[in-house]
Amino acid sequence: MTPYAAPSFYHIHVTSVVRRGLLEYLHISKSGGTSFSAAAKHSGCLMAPGIGQLEALGDLPRWINGTAFEELTGGTSIMWSYYGSKGRPAQGQSCTGRLAHLKELGYNYVSNEFTLHGGGGSGGGGGGSRGAEGLHATHVCPGSVNVVTLRQPDGRLASHLHYMLARVKKRLLGKTDFDTSDFFDTFCTGDVAMWQRVAPPVVDNYALRSFIGERAFHSPVGGIGSEHVKVARRLLLQFDLVMDLDAGEEAADLAMRQGLGWNVSLSELHVRTSSQTFAKLHYSKEDCPNEELLRLLLPRQEPDRQLYSTGRTLAFLDGVFLDVAQALGLRPNSLAAGTVPPPARGTGTVKGSPACGLLNAGATGRRKTAGRKARLMVR
């Protein structure tokens, strides 16, 4: 991009973000999503308590087949266990319904840790003409600013497995008939078939499933193919900002400050890191290394790698575009408001700086939380 074109393109970007005023973050589990939502909260965005996810929209993660887990553990239930059994409620099934619900609550930020919209109902395998039709009907919501962070698939999968194992161990030990030996024999011996029953999307191209809609998300293990990759890549191209978690803190800082006008970035927040979680739950990777499991699973994640390759390219191009704009002295909040100076790096929200950066114009509508008030944290 030449310096001559950058001002026009950047002005289009800023104007587009301000006009929409609502950010939908596609939270791919174990890809920096909790820290991203924390940055949104610290930058003054209006969002649901916690990390900005709404069960009313069906945006919670679906990692585990609850029936299979209960059969394996003698009837024990666990969180994240909606896989295959619970689709999105009515207000979460269309972009207009989602927008109306969020506007009613007065939110300008929402985190979606399930999959993109449309694509048929839950429980299907993605096969046949109906599955193909659903796959190609998957879409982003054009009335939202769409942002995603991606992570190298091998590291993401290993992190996801150990995060789940820490929670599973805590859930089972001391509250069921499971002891440490039972836990190890069940979950730490590289039993691929067991993992395919209990957590099918996690062990089979989870990141790509996050892009292909409800029906294709529930494709059987081994059912993700070239057509899914093609659709996921097409949808990824429609995101306003793509961030590569492995590109480093400076890249994330540039995307969030220059791309969104936020005052806090991932470089300042590391929320709920693996080490923190493991320490809290008294878990160690050495307790359950699962090296054999990863050796068998990693070669199967090629669709995720193909999508990540595309994402890295898009993230790089976004970075070039934003870096040129920054070098030319173009500041997001100044362009949006005309007179608002940009916040100094690392100072957080300052007097005169708009809450949630470029998205503050979207914080309209009557805010209603049915007895739960979202906390607006201004730093």
| Domain CATH number, residue 165 | 3.40.50
Segment 75-129, tens digit of pLDDT: 999 999 999 887 899 899 999 999 999 999 999 999 999 999 998 865 444 444 4
Return the number of other C-beta atoms located less than 10 Å from residue 275's C-beta. 8
- Are 60 and 82 in contact, with CB atoms under 8 Å apart? yes
pLDDT value at position 106?
96
Domain that holds residue 270: 6-362
- Quote the DSSP letter at residue 120: S
Please give the structure tokens belonging to residue 283. Answer: 């878990």
d(CA 361, CA 130): 40
Is 372 a domain residue?
no
Please give the structure tokens belonging to residue 54. Answer: 């709404």
Is 278 a domain residue?
yes
Beta strand segments in 82-240, E? 109-112, 145-150
pLDDT value at position 123?
47
- Prediction pTM value: 0.88
363, amino acid identity: A
Q: Which residue has the tokens 């919501």?
A: 141
Is 369 a domain residue?
no
Please give the structure tokens belonging to residue 288. Answer: 């359950």
Q: Coil, helix or strand for 164?
A: helix
Is 138 a domain residue?
yes
Residue 344, phi-psi category: left (phi > 0), alpha (psi -120 to 50), beta (remainder): beta
With vertex at residue 89, the alpha carbon angle to CA 84 and CA 91, rounded to the nearest 5 degrees, is: 150
Low-confidence ranges of the chain (pLDDT < 70): 1-4, 121-133, 270-272, 338-353, 361-379
d(CA 276, CA 54): 25
Residue 373 backbone dihedrals phi, psi, to 5 degrees: -95, 125
Is 268 a domain residue?
yes
Is 95 a domain residue?
yes
d(CA 141, CA 370): 26
pLDDT value at position 133?
63
Q: Coil, helix or strand for 46?
A: coil
Return the number of other C-beta atoms located less than 10 Å from residue 5's C-beta. 11
Is 14 a domain residue?
yes
pLDDT value at position 205?
99
Q: Measuring CA to CA, how many Å separate 31 from each of 91, 148, 165, 243?
A: 27, 9, 17, 10
Residue 378 backbone dihedrals phi, psi, to 5 degrees: -105, 125
Please give the structure tokens belonging to residue 188. Answer: 């730490």
User: Count of domains in the chain?
Assistant: 1
- Are 251 and 243 in contact, with CB atoms under 8 Å apart? yes
| Helix (H) or strand (E) run with residue 214 in it | helix 213-217
Is 373 a domain residue?
no
d(CA 254, CA 268): 13
d(CA 214, CA 84): 10
- Are 269 and 35 in contact, with CB atoms under 8 Å apart? yes
Please give the structure tokens belonging to residue 353. Answer: 């700086």
Q: Measuring CA to CA, how many Å separate 215 from each of 88, 127, 169, 200?
A: 11, 9, 30, 14
- Quote the DSSP letter at residue 82: B
pLDDT value at position 115?
98
Please report, to the nearest 10 degrees, the dihedral formed by the alpha carbons of residues 155, 160, 163, 167 taken in order.
Answer: -170
Q: Coil, helix or strand for 378?
A: strand
